[in-house]
C-alpha cells in the first residue's frame, strides 16, 4: 500500500513528555515514521494502514492537546501560553513564600494562604492534571503524574490542617504552589531552549517567505514566492533574494549561495545557468524561468531533510526513552515506600513522612533524560547545516562515530573535474614555446571546459605569440584554424589514445607538431584530508571506474595505499560490502554513478552541488565542494555524540543521587522542584554549547 504522509499542527504540548506521550500513542496505533516536535508544534507520521484520520485526531485530543488547522489558526487564548501561566502563578506564589521571611501576621493566616494558593493549584490541576490523567488512561504514565500527585498531596494535607485548625505545622500551601510554579518555569525554559536548538530550520524557513516579481502582459506583478508556478517568468534585481529555483533566461549576475552551499565567494550566473531559491543576487539583474517550486524546491527539500533528521532517533536515545517509560511507576513506588518507612519505622510523624515522599515525587524528573539526545542532535545538525553539510538523520551521527574506512570516488571527489596540461611532447623541429603559442591562440576561441582550463594555465607560461585569421570548431573532433601566413592548424582528439592519458594532437599543414596529455587536477585540500584521516586512525580507500594508471597516479600523490580501479557500479557495491564486513565504512562520491555504493555504505556522503540536493542515496550531502567539510562533518558528528553521552550521564547521575537524598529527608519539595528545573536547563545548556565550541 502506498505510504501516506500526514502532517498535523498540535497545540498544548509544553515539554518533551507531552511529545513523548503523543509519540507512544501513535506508535501503539501502528503508525510509521512518527515525528513529534513540541517546540514547532508539529506531529508527522506515515499512515500506511490507512487508519481513519478523524479517529487519530480524536485520540490525540483525548490526551489533552488540540489539533488545529494552520490556515485558520486563531490567536491562542491567554492561559494557553505557558509563559502566561507561569507569570500568573508567580504573582500568587511570591507572597506565599514571603511568610517564611516576614513576620507580618496576615501572611501566616491559613485562610489567606489558602486564597493565595487556590488559583495556582487550579492552574496546576488543569495544566498537569489533564496531561497526567490522559497519560494514565493510555497506559503511558508521564512526568506530569508525579508533579500532580506531589502538588495535590501538599495542598490536600494543608487543606485538612486548615479545616481542622491543626496549627501552622500542617500548612504547606507554599510547597504546593512553589512546585507548580517552578515546574512551569522549567517548561518555559525548556521551550525557549528547544526553540533555540531548532533555529537552523526556522532560519531556512524565513528564506522561503519572500516576494517575487512575476512578468505578466501588463508589466510586472509582485506575488508571494509560494504562489509562483513552474514556468513563470520572474525578474530578479540586484539585492533581491532569488524567490524559487529556476533557469536564467537573460542577464548576468553574481549570486551569493553561501546560505545553501556554505561557499563564501559569489558565483557568476548567465544564460542557461541554474539559480537556487533563497540565494541572494549581489550584483546585476536577471530574468529567470521558475523550474522547481513549492515542496520540490531545493530549500524545501533541505528543510524537509533537516526536520526528518532531527526526528530520526539514534540508538542512544532509544535507551533514554526506555528508561523514561518505566521510570514513573518506579518513582511512585519509591515515594510510597519512603512514606511507609519514614512513618512506621521512625518517629518522624505524618508531616515529615509526607514531605519526604512528596520530595521524591517532585525531584525525580526524567525530562532531562528525554531532552538529552534530541537537543544535542538538533544543535549538531544545525551547526553542520551552517557549514554546508546536510545530515539526514540523527542516527547517521552515531554511525559515523567509530568509522574505520573512508572510500573515495576519484573524479569530482578527490579531483576537481577541471583539466590541466599534464605534459606536452613536441615533435622534432618544433619548440615548446611555439606549441604553447599555437594552443593558446586556438583554445582562446573555444568554449569547451578543457579549452578554458588550458588557456588559464598557459597564460602564466612563456610562449611564442601567433596571430590567427580564422578559427572554426568541429563538434566532437576539435578546432581548425588558419594564421595570417596561410598555415592551417588542427587541434583535436588523438586517433590512438594511449593507456595512460587522454591525448590531444596538434597538426600544422597535416604534419604533427605535438602530443598533449591532459589530466584532471587533484583538489588542493585532498592531501591534507587524507593525512588527517590517517592521523585519526581511519584508512582511506580509492575506488574508481577510471584507468589503472590514473588511479595509481592519484593514489601515489595523495599517499593512499588501498586502490580499486576500472570499477563498474556493480563492482563498487562489492568493494563497499567487503570493507563493511571489516568495520564501519563511509563512502564519498559524486552521487550519480556512485548511488548504489552510497546506499550500501554505513554512511553515504554525496559531494554535490545544491541542484542535486535530492539525491536520495546519500545520508550526508556536502553542499560545498571543499573537502575540508568531510573533516568538519566527522568532527561535528563526534562532538554531537559526545554531548549526548554527557547529557545522558548528567540526567542519570542526577536522578541516582537526587532520589535517595530526597527519600532520606534531606531535601524539601520546593528545593526538589527547583533542582528538577535546573537539571533540564543544564542538559539543554550543554547541548547549546555545541553551537560554539571548538570541534577539532
Q: Say which residues have a Cβ less than 8 Å from residue 129's Cβ, sequence separation at least 6.
A: 144, 148
**Torsion angle defined by CA atoms of residues 119, 120, 122 and 127, in that order, rounded to the nearest 10 degrees:** 140
- Pairwise CA distance, residues 275 & 288, whole Å: 8
DSSP state of 283: E
Residues in the chain: 696
609 is catalytic: no
DSSP string, 10-73: EE---SHHHHHHHHHHHHHTT-EEEEEETTTTEEEEE-TT---HHHHHHHHHHTT-EEE-STTP
- Pairwise CA distance, residues 672 & 359, whole Å: 6
3-state SS assignment for residue 117? helix
Task: Provide the pairing of β-strand 620-622 with 66-68.
Answer: unpaired
Burial of 509 (C-beta count, 10 Å sphere; 0-12/13-18/19+): exposed
CB atoms < 10 A from the CB of 229, how many?
A: 11
Residue 96 · residue 116 · CB < 8 Å: yes
Q: Say which residues have a Cβ less than 8 Å from residue 101's Cβ, sequence separation at least 6.
A: none
Give the number of C-alpha atoms closer than 13 A to the C-alpha of residue 361, restricted to the C-beta side: 28
Give the number of C-alpha atoms closer than 13 A to the C-alpha of residue 216, restricted to the C-beta side: 10
Number of H helices, E strands in the chain: 22, 24
Give the number of C-alpha atoms closer than 13 A to the C-alpha of residue 467, restricted to the C-beta side: 2
- Pairwise CA distance, residues 605 & 569, whole Å: 16
Task: Provide the pairing of β-strand 468-474 with 211-216.
Answer: unpaired
Give a three-class secondary structure readout of 629-666.
HHHHHHHHHHHHHHHHHHHHHHHHHHHHHHHHHHHCCC
Select which of 245, 409, 609, 680 is catalytic. 409
3-state SS assignment for residue 674? helix
Alpha carbon distances (Å) from 54 to 8, 60, 501: 12, 10, 66
Burial of 106 (C-beta count, 10 Å sphere; 0-12/13-18/19+): exposed
Q: Say which residues have a Cβ less than 8 Å from residue 513's Cβ, sequence separation at least 6.
A: 426, 427, 430, 434, 435, 438, 506, 507
3-state SS assignment for residue 483? strand
Q: Which residues are tagged catalytic? A: 409
Amino acid at each position: 500500500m502506498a505510504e501516506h504522509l500526514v502532517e498535523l499542527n498540535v497545540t498544548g504540548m509544553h515539554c518533551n513528555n507531552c511529545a513523548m506521550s503523543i509519540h507512544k500513542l501513535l506508535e501503539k496505533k501502528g503508525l510509521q515514521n512518527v515525528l513529534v516536535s513540541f517546540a514547532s508544534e508539529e506531529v508527522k507520521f506515515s499512515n500506511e494502514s490507512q487508519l481513519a484520520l478523524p479517529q487519530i485526531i480524536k485520540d490525540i485530543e483525548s490526551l489533552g492537546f488540540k489539533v488545529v488547522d494552520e490556515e485558520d489558526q486563531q490567536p491562542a487564548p491567554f492561559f494557553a501560553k505557558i509563559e502566561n501561566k507561569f507569570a500568573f502563578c508567580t504573582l500568587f506564589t511570591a507572597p506565599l513564600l514571603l511568610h517564611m521571611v516576614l513576620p507580618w501576621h496576615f501572611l501566616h493566616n491559613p485562610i489567606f494562604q489558602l486564597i493565595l494558593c487556590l488559583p495556582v493549584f487550579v492552574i496546576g490541576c488543569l495544566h498537569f492534571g489533564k496531561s497526567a490523567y490522559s497519560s494514565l488512561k493510555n497506559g503511558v504514565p508521564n512526568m506530569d503524574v508525579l508533579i500532580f500527585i506531589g502538588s495535590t498531596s501538599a495542598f490536600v494535607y494543608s487543606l485538612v490542617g486548615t479545616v481542622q485548625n491543626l496549627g501552622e505545622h500542617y500548612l504547606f500551601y507554599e510547597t504546593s504552589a512553589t512546585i507548580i510554579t517552578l515546574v512551569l518555569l522549567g517548561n518555559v525554559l525548556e521551550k525557549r531552549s528547544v526553540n533555540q536548538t531548532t533555529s537552523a530550520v526556522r532560519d531556512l524557513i524565513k528564506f522561503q517567505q519572500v516576494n517575487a516579481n512575476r512578468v505578466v502582459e501588463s508589466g510586472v506583478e509582485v506575488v508571494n514566492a509560494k504562489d509562483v508556478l513552474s514556468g513563470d517568468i520572474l525578474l530578479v534585481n540586484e539585492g533581491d533574494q532569488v524567490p524559487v529555483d529556476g533557469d536564467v533566461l537573460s542577464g548576468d549576475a553574481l549570486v551569493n549561495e553561501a546560505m545553501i552551499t556554505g561557499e563564501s565567494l559569489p558565483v557568476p550566473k548567465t544564460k542557461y545557468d541554474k539559480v537556487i531559491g533563497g540565494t541572494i543576487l549581489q550584483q546585476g539583474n536577471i530574468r529567470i524561468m521558475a523550474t522547481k517550486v513549492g515542496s520540490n524546491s531545493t530549500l524545501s527539500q533541505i528543510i524537509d531533510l533537516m526536520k526528518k533528521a532531527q526526528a530520526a532517533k539514534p540508538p542512544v536515545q532509544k535507551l533514554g526513552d526506555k528508561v523514561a517509560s518505566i521510570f514513573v511507576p518506579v518513582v511512585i513506588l519509591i515515594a510510597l515506600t519512603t512514606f511507609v518507612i519514614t512513618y512506621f519505622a521512625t518517629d518522624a510523624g505524618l508531616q515529615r513522612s509526607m514531605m519526604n515522599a512528596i520530595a521524591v515525587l517532585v525531584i525525580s524528573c526524567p525530562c532531562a533524560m528525554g531532552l538529552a539526545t534530541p537537543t544535542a542532535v538538533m544543535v549538531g545538525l544545525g551547526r553542520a547545516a551552517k557549514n554546508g553539510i546536510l545530515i539526514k538523520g540523527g542516527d547517521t551521527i552515531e554511525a559515523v562515530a567509530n568509522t574505520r574506512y573512508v572510500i573515495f570516488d576519484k573524479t569530482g571527489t578527490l579531483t576537481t573535474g577541471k583539466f590541466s596540461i599534464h605534459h606536452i611532447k613536441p615533435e622534432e623541429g618544433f619548440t615548446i614555446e611555439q606549441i604553447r603559442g599555437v594552443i593558446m591562440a586556438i583554445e582562446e576561441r573555444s568554449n569547451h571546459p578543457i579549452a578554458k582550463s588550458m588557456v588559464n594555465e598557459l597564460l602564466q607560461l612563456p610562449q611564442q605569440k601567433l596571430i590567427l585569421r580564422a578559427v572554426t570548431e568541429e563538434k566532437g573532433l576539435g578546432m581548425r584554424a588558419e594564421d595570417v601566413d596561410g598555415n592551417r592548424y588542427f587541434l583535436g582528439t588523438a586517433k590512438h589514445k594511449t593507456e595512460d592519458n587522454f591525448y590531444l594532437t596538434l597538426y600544422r599543414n597535416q604534419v604533427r607538431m605535438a602530443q598533449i596529455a591532459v589530466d584532471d587536477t587533484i583538489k588542493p585540500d585532498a592531501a591534507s584530508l587524507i593525512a588527517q584521516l590517517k592521523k585519526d586512525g581511519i584508512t582511506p580507500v580509492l575506488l574508481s571506474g577510471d584507468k589503472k594508471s590514473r588511479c595509481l597516479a592519484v593514489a601515489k600523490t595523495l599517499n593512499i595505499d588501498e586502490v580499486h580501479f576500472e570499477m563498474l557500479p556493480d563492482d563498487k557495491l562489492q568493494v563497499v560490502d567487503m570493507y563493511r564486513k571489516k568495520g564501519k565504512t563511509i563512502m564519498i562520491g559524486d552521487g550519480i554513478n556512485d548511488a548504489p555504493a552510497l546506499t550500501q555504505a554505513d554512511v553515504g556522503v554525496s559531494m554535490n552541488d545544491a541542484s542535486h540536493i535530492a539525491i536520495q542515496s546519500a545520508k550526508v550531502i556536502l553542499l560545498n565542494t571543499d573537502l575540508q567539510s568531510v573533516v568538519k562533518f566527522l568532527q561535528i558528528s563526534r562532538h554531537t555524540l559526545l554531548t549526548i553521552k554527557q547529557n545522558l550521564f548528567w540526567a542519570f547521575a542526577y536522578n541516582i543521587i537526587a532520589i535517595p537524598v530526597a527519600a532520606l529527608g534531606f531535601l524539601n519539595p520546593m528545593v526538589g522542584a527547583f533542582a528538577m528545573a535546573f537539571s533540564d536547563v543544564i542538559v539543554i545548556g550543554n547541548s547549546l554549547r555545541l553551537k560554539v565550541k571548538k570541534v577539532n
